[in-house]
Amino acid sequence: MDCLFCKIIKGEIPAKLIYRDDYVVAFDDINPQAPHHKLIVPLKHIDTLNALHIEDNELIGHMMQTAKMLAKNLNIDEEGYRVVMNCNAGAGQTVFHIHLHLLGGRQMIWPPG
């Protein structure tokens, strides 16, 4: 499958990995939008949030727990951070393998653009 994040998971494309377990990897976004910008990506390929099944509930929960853990490790948990998943092109999704953006280290604005 021609998927950028599957290739990163398999080690075929380099990335600055900061975390890996049996379910997810996390690495630096190549085009950071904040001083801290990490991507939390499930090992399982799922195109978009629309393709999520009930049996993926534990996986999604684990992705959020990973975001929480990384935010604490980065020491941005108290000042604040943002976790975002874009679904489809209209929301800005460009890589069609679901992922959480973890953004922090600056003041966030609302609503996002």
Q: Which is nearer to Zn ion, 82 or 97 (CB)?
A: 97
Stretch of 18-26, 27-35, 70-78, 105-113 contacting ligand AMP, by CB under 6 A: 27-35
- Adjacent-strand bridge partners of 36: 104
Please provide the DSSP assignment of 65-96 as one string: HHHHHHHHHTT-TTT-EEEE---SGGGT--SS
Q: Which is nearer to ligand AMP, 71 or 103 (CB)?
A: 103
Q: Residue 45 binds which one of ligand AMP, Zn ion, none, with CB within 5 to 8 A depending on kind?
A: Zn ion
Residue reference for tokens 């996002």: 112
Considering only residues 17, 30, 64, 108, which one is a binding residue for ligand AMP as defined by CB under 6 A? 30
Tell which residue, 59, 58, 61, 70, has the closest CA to residue 26.
70
The least distance separating Zn ion from the CB of residue 87, rounded to whole angstroms, comes to: 15
**Cis peptide bond upstream of 14, omega within 30:** no
Catalytic residue among 36, 97, 99, 101: 99
Catalytic site positions:
99
